[in-house]
Amino acid sequence: MGERLIDRIRNLEKEIVHLKAKILDLTNKTEARRIKPESKIPLINLSQTLPNPSSGTGLGKLPNRNAGIIWNDAEAQNVPFGQQPSTPTKGYHKHSHSRYAGGALNIDTLEFVEYDLTGYNKHCQAYWKVEAPIQKDTNGEEKISSLKDNMVWDSINKIWRFYAVYKD
C-alpha cells in the first residue's frame, strides 16, 4: 500500500508540472497579445478635406488631423477642400452617453439650438468652414437655451420632467 501511495504522489507531481507548463503556455499566448482595435473604414487623410483649422471657428481642429473620428460615409469621401460632402446614407461610430459610456450629458451645459443650415451639411459639422448662424425668433433673440431651462426634477418619481408642452 505504501508503494502504491508513493506512485500516486509521483504521478500527481508529474501532472502538476505538466499543468503548470500548460498554464504558462496559454498565458503567454493570451496575455502577451494586445487586442487590436478595428475600424469599419480605412484611415483617411483629413488634412486635405476638412476646413483649415486657422479659420478661427474651432471646427475641424484635431490634435492629429490624420486620425479624426469619421461619423458617417459622407465624411469618408475625399471631398475637395472647402466643399460640403453629400448627405450620408450610413452612420459609423454610433455611441451612447451615460455615466459609464461617453459621459453623462450635463443638464447645466447641454444646449438646444436651432441653426440656419442653409449651405451646411447638418451631418458633417467637421466640414463647416465657419459655424452656422443661429436662427432668431420674432424678437430677434437667438433660438438657444439649456436643457435646465426646460426641465424640472421630480424628486418623488426620480425623473426629469418638461415644464410644459405647447405649440404656437
List, for residues 77-118, the tens digit of each pLDDT value.
777 777 888 899 988 877 888 888 888 888 888 888 999 999
Q: Kindly tell me if the per-residue pLDDT of 38 is higher than 70.
A: no
pLDDT at 31 over 80: no
Domain positions in the chain are 1-35
Measured at the CA of 40, the angle between CA 37 and CA 44, to 5 degrees, comes to 90
Give pLDDT tens digits for 125-156: 878 878 899 999 999 999 998 888 888 888 99
What lies within 8 Å, CB to CB, of 77 at 6+ separation is 85, 86
Confidence of residue 62 (pLDDT cuts 50, 70, 90): very low
| Contact between residue 73 and residue 84 where contact means Cβ atoms under 8 Å apart | no
Residue 43 is predicted with a pLDDT of: 61
